[in-house]
Chains A and B, each alone.
Chain A
Amino acid sequence: MDIDLITNVLYAMVRTGTPLLIVALGELVCERSGVLNLGQEGMMLMGAVVGFIVTLTTGSLLLGFILAIVAGMLMSMLFAAIALGLNANQVATGLALTIFGTGLSAFIGAAYVGTPITGLEPIAIPYLSEIPLIGKMLFAQDLVVYLSFGLFGLVFWFFKSSRLGLTVKAVGENPHAANSLGLPVMRTRYLAVAFGGGMAGLAGGYLSLAYTPLWAENMTAGRGWIALALVVFATWRADRIIFGAYLFGLASILNLVVQGLGYPVSPNLLAMMPYAATVLVLVMISSNVMKSKMYTPMWLGKPFHPHT
């Protein structure tokens, strides 16, 4: 492998990991507040289709991304109304949201299949992007990738140092205790779910407006599920989520690179690598049971009744 090839692999690693990172960060905030939303795939698809249609009709990528986020949020509020408002089972509601989002996005997008648009192009930052190896990876990406760096920093800081982050954690650990302290449990959960929805919508928009600027039914191809698994294997820590997302991206790209170079490795084995490597590595670094427990939201997935 020459240096150009490695530079390109690192660049592709970040691009491939970005949608996973964005969704997983959103779901992290949601789960830390004690709410398990399995509707990621449905929210992403709605973000993707809405973003695509808006950009196609208005010609504005910015508007496309904004409404993709809004679409994801609206979907998550539908989930919240049922799972939080009516205290329905979160797992079932989340699954229903995925099925609903998949069907609805296919329905809305039917007329737009096979229509191309000009997608979001990368912006290379002068000088910085010419740093060997890592320059292209960090400084020749598109705006959403740069934004995802910022979002990671934000979420990391949020849980590490902010008061609001502490509130979210308290609500997820023990909503009854949080409630008796006077913390707004339900409001916090609604906001956390909305943040998760917005992030899923953004990730969907990233797929249909930047990664592969087109709309096709079910184009997320299971990325929402991978992101969900990532949150668990990263034991609800933002730093491990970014590591896991890029590790998955790296393994996915290496699978293709190795095949292209013609090494005699079974393609089936290579196809398994991203999943195997990510799970293995994250399980290994999270193997300290006590420490892992500290980060697991104790009330995850359980409904909260303020008056009982």
Chain B
Amino acid sequence: MKQSVKKLLTGAVLGLSLATAGIAQAADPLKIGFVYVGPVGDHGWSYQHDQGRLALEKHFGDKVETTFVESVPEGADAERVIRNLAKSGNKLIFTTSFGYMNPTLKVAKTFKKVKFEHATGYKTAKNAGNYLSKTFEGRYVAGFVAAKMTKSNKIGYIASFPIPEVIRDINTVQLALQKYNPKAELKIIWVNSWFDPGKEADAANVMIDQGVDVILQHTDSPAAMQAAERRGVYAVGQASDMSSFGPKAHLMSVVDDWAALYIRKTQEVMDGTWKPENYWGGMAEEDIKIPAFTNMPAAVATEAQQLVDDITSGKFFPFTGPIKNQAGEIKVKAGERMPLNELVGINWYVEGVQATAPE
């Protein structure tokens, strides 16, 4: 907490000096605030949001002025931080973790002229929208690549917490495995953390000991990629491009790119056209990117790229029926697409997943 206070103070001092400097300019810059749950140096979730902020600054130059507060715990502290950002003149505030949802809406009620954007939630208000990324689209491609590249038919999935986003992505990988390599088995290990390099590496090593030869991760550090490189198996990176940590192990990374969204939202606030929305962007919106396919035969890479193109164009949708749950009941009929509002809160596993869903 002290750390974020420190950053806030630095931000405030910086903001002050910039504001004084801004008097000479013709128009005042639009002030934009960001709240992060982790440190910007996690090389994962918060890091990618900060990359989005930097891209925004680069795009608009001195027309905008951004402030961020990092490592803000979800809960009462968050409300105070968001309120402070609103008080100090920020006209657009991005709050980038699930637990900031209620604090964001509470502050939004008092500051009617400030626009709020909350990531990964589901509530909106007149001046508060929310946004989410379709990581499952990228994860489906990862499932395809894993299905093609495994020799042992054992795929590992390092999971953080059983929330809808993680359950959805485990499901999408299982769907891809079923389609492209029904013999492949998905091993899931929960590490109960978004970020603990040591534990993520331990989980990867345990999986490799048990015969896994492709590792997928739903945690934020590149430690699993590194463990895969050391042990000579394959891995898929998460949130940011992790290819440098596994020159021989890296197959692909599912990268969250928030730049386009942040630039669009800022432009809308500048133009006065901003409206609250439930925004869920994926490959088509360039929010989910797969920078490169590496260490695989050209034929696999070509087919994977085709999959990306089909998902992008909307020709293919990963959650297309028939989809059964673990009990074997049909949840999505053949040929139908699972509606997004059901996918958002999904809390059951598809047939074939060897795990128990949380109650």
- A261: contacting residue among B191, B193, B210, CB under 8 A: B210
Indicate whether B221 reaches chain A with its CB closer than 8 angstroms.
yes
- Measured CB to CB, the nearest residue on chain A to B207 is A260
Question: How far apart are A135's CB and chain B's nearest CB, in angstroms?
Answer: 16
- A260: contacting residue among B189, B201, B222, B240, CB under 8 A: B189
Indicate whether A86 reaches chain B with its CB closer than 8 angstroms.
no
Cβ of A9: which chain B residues have Cβ within 8 Å of it? 209
Indicate whether A192 reaches chain B with its CB closer than 8 angstroms.
no
Chain A residues 216 to 241 lying within 8 A of chain B, measured CB to CB, are 216-219, 221, 223
With contacts A212-B201, A212-B226 taken as known, whether A268 is within 8 angstroms of B192 at the C-beta atoms is yes
Cβ of A287: which chain B residues have Cβ within 8 Å of it? none
Evaluate contact between A271 and B209: CB separation under 8 angstroms.
no
- B245: contacting residue among A16, A214, A268, CB under 8 A: A214
- B202: contacting residue among A16, A106, A219, CB under 8 A: A16
Evaluate contact between A256 and B189: CB separation under 8 angstroms.
yes
Cβ of B209: which chain A residues have Cβ within 8 Å of it? 4-5, 8-9, 12, 257
With contacts A114-B244, A216-B41 taken as known, whether A211 is within 8 angstroms of B210 at the C-beta atoms is no
Cβ of B244: which chain A residues have Cβ within 8 Å of it? 114-116
Indicate whether B354 reaches chain A with its CB closer than 8 angstroms.
yes
Evaluate contact between A214 and B187: CB separation under 8 angstroms.
no
- A271: contacting residue among B156, B187, B192, B356, CB under 8 A: B192
Evaluate contact between B3 and A99: CB separation under 8 angstroms.
yes
Evaluate contact between B223 and A212: CB separation under 8 angstroms.
yes
Q: What is the 8 Å Cβ interface bit string for chain B, positions 1-14, against chain A (1 contact, 0 not)? A: 01100100000000
Chain A residues 4 to 45 lying within 8 A of chain B, measured CB to CB, are 4-5, 8-9, 12, 16, 19
How many residues on chain A are close to B (CB under 8 Å)? 41
Number of A-B contacts (CB under 8 A): 115
- B41: contacting residue among A113, A253, A268, CB under 8 A: A113
Evaluate contact between A260 and B210: CB separation under 8 angstroms.
yes
- Categorize the interface residue count of chain B: 35 or more
Evaluate contact between B189 and A114: CB separation under 8 angstroms.
no
With contacts A212-B223, A212-B226 taken as known, whether A260 is within 8 angstroms of B206 at the C-beta atoms is yes
With contacts A116-B244, A221-B195 taken as known, whether A211 is within 8 angstroms of B201 at the C-beta atoms is yes
A214 to B200, CA, bound (A): 13
Chain B residues 206 to 222 lying within 8 A of chain A, measured CB to CB, are 206-207, 209-210, 212, 221-222
Q: What is the 8 Å Cβ interface bit string for chain A, positions 236-264, against chain B (1 contact, 0 not)? A: 00000000000000001100110111101
Evaluate contact between B195 and A216: CB separation under 8 angstroms.
yes
Evaluate contact between A106 and B39: CB separation under 8 angstroms.
yes
Cβ of A252: which chain B residues have Cβ within 8 Å of it? 199, 202
Cβ of A85: which chain B residues have Cβ within 8 Å of it? none
Evaluate contact between B39 and A221: CB separation under 8 angstroms.
no
Question: How far apart are B29's CB and chain A's nearest CB, in angstroms?
Answer: 24
Task: Decide if the interface of chain A is mainly helix, strand, loop or mixed.
Answer: helix
With contacts A113-B47, A114-B240, A211-B198 taken as known, whether A253 is within 8 angstroms of B3 at the C-beta atoms is no
A19 to B207, CA, bound (A): 22
Most buried by B among A109, A113, A115, A271: A113
- Measured CB to CB, the nearest residue on chain A to B154 is A260
Cβ of A113: which chain B residues have Cβ within 8 Å of it? 41-43, 47
A148 to B173, CA, bound (A): 41
Indicate whether B190 reaches chain A with its CB closer than 8 angstroms.
yes
Cβ of B187: which chain A residues have Cβ within 8 Å of it? 260, 262
Indicate whether A167 reaches chain B with its CB closer than 8 angstroms.
no
Cβ of A262: which chain B residues have Cβ within 8 Å of it? 187, 354
Evaluate contact between A256 and B192: CB separation under 8 angstroms.
no
Chain B residues 151 to 206 lying within 8 A of chain A, measured CB to CB, are 156, 187-193, 195-203, 205-206
- B190: contacting residue among A116, A216, A261, A271, CB under 8 A: A271
Evaluate contact between A12 and B202: CB separation under 8 angstroms.
yes
With contacts A99-B2, A259-B189, A264-B356 taken as known, whether A16 is within 8 angstroms of B197 at the C-beta atoms is no
Evaluate contact between B41 and A214: CB separation under 8 angstroms.
no
A223 to B196, CA, bound (A): 10
Evaluate contact between B190 and A267: CB separation under 8 angstroms.
yes
Evaluate contact between A219 and B197: CB separation under 8 angstroms.
yes
Evaluate contact between B201 and A256: CB separation under 8 angstroms.
no
A114 to B255, CA, bound (A): 14
Evaluate contact between B210 and A5: CB separation under 8 angstroms.
yes
Indicate whether A110 reaches chain B with its CB closer than 8 angstroms.
yes
A4 to B42, CA, bound (A): 34
Indicate whether A207 reaches chain B with its CB closer than 8 angstroms.
yes
Q: What is the 8 Å Cβ interface bit string for chain B, positions 301-321, against chain A (1 contact, 0 not)? A: 000000000000000000000
Question: How far apart are B200's CB and chain A's nearest CB, in angstroms?
Answer: 8
Evaluate contact between B198 and A212: CB separation under 8 angstroms.
yes
Most buried by A among B38, B191, B198, B223: B198
Evaluate contact between B43 and A16: CB separation under 8 angstroms.
no
Cβ of A165: which chain B residues have Cβ within 8 Å of it? none
- A216: contacting residue among B42, B191, B192, B202, CB under 8 A: B42
Question: How far apart are B358's CB and chain A's nearest CB, in angstroms?
Answer: 9
Q: Could you list 6 A-B pairs, sorted by A, with CB under 8 Å?
A: A99-B2, A211-B198, A212-B201, A221-B195, A260-B156, A271-B192
Residues of A that sit less than 8 Å from B by CB = 4-5, 8-9, 12, 16, 19, 99, 102-103, 106, 109-110, 113-116, 207, 211-214, 216-219, 221, 223, 252-253, 256-257, 259-262, 264, 266-268, 271
Residues of B that sit less than 8 Å from A by CB = 2-3, 6, 38-43, 47, 156, 187-193, 195-203, 205-207, 209-210, 212, 221-223, 226-227, 240, 244-245, 354, 356
CB-CB nearest 4 A-B residue pairs: A217-B41, A217-B39, A267-B190, A221-B196
